[in-house]
Amino acid sequence: MEQQIIHACGHKQVHVIYGFDSQVARKARWLRTTKCRACFVADKKTEQTEAAARDSATIAHLVLPPLTGSERQVSWAETIRINRLAALMATPHKTTDADCSLCLRISDAKWWIDHRDLPNADLVVQATRQLQIAAMPANGQQSAAA
């Protein structure tokens, strides 16, 4: 059932609310206490922009190597990498500069995307593993000394 709701921000928005009459009334009352979709999205975007600026300022002294991958991967991974490095630096009692340096050496955009949800300690462990794997010679290409 369509209802026009005047939200807390003062904007009107049409909502389709299904359920029993009591559920519809409760949902309509709740919607009146919230912001409209446009204001909610604008606020979220502002929060994200402020967080990105804070994170960028936190890691401004670091030299970030360019990421490799598709254009979309690189764009997304840059945001993830900045956020994660800032989080690592914000917890100096749990991480060291060496941990940040390890993560800085990862330039694969896919890796950053795949590991975006890991806790800081696990991110450092995975970065160490990735760098160890990258340092290993490929199969069949063993050194001539062997």
For residue 116, which of 85, 71, 72 has the smallest C-alpha distance? Answer: 85
Q: Does 93 lie in the same domain as 23?
A: no
Question: Is residue 67 assigned to a domain?
Answer: yes
- Structural domain contains residue 89: yes
Q: For residue 142, tell me if it sits in a domain.
A: no
Residue 13 buriedness (CB in 10 A; 0-12 / 13-18 / 19+): middle
Per residue in 21-66, pLDDT (tens digit) is 999 999 999 999 999 999 999 999 999 999 989 988 888 888 889 9
Residue 132 has pLDDT above 90, yes or no: no
Task: Determine if the pTM surpasses 0.85.
Answer: no
d(CA 79, CA 56): 9
Total count of domains within the chain:
2
User: 83-113: per-residue pLDDT in tens?
Assistant: 999 888 887 667 677 778 888 889 999 999 9
Local confidence band at 133 (pLDDT 50, 70, 90 cut-offs)? confident
Residues 25 and 87 both lie in one domain: no
Q: Assess whether 29 and 52 both reside in one domain.
A: no
Return the SS3 of 21: helix
With respect to residue 144, please indicate whether it lies within any of the assigned structural domains: no
Residues 10 and 75 in one domain: no
Residue 29 within a domain = yes
Residue 140 lies inside a defined structural domain of this protein: no
Range of the domain at 25: 2-35
Q: Under DSSP, is residue 85 helix (H, G, I), strand (E, B) or coil? A: helix
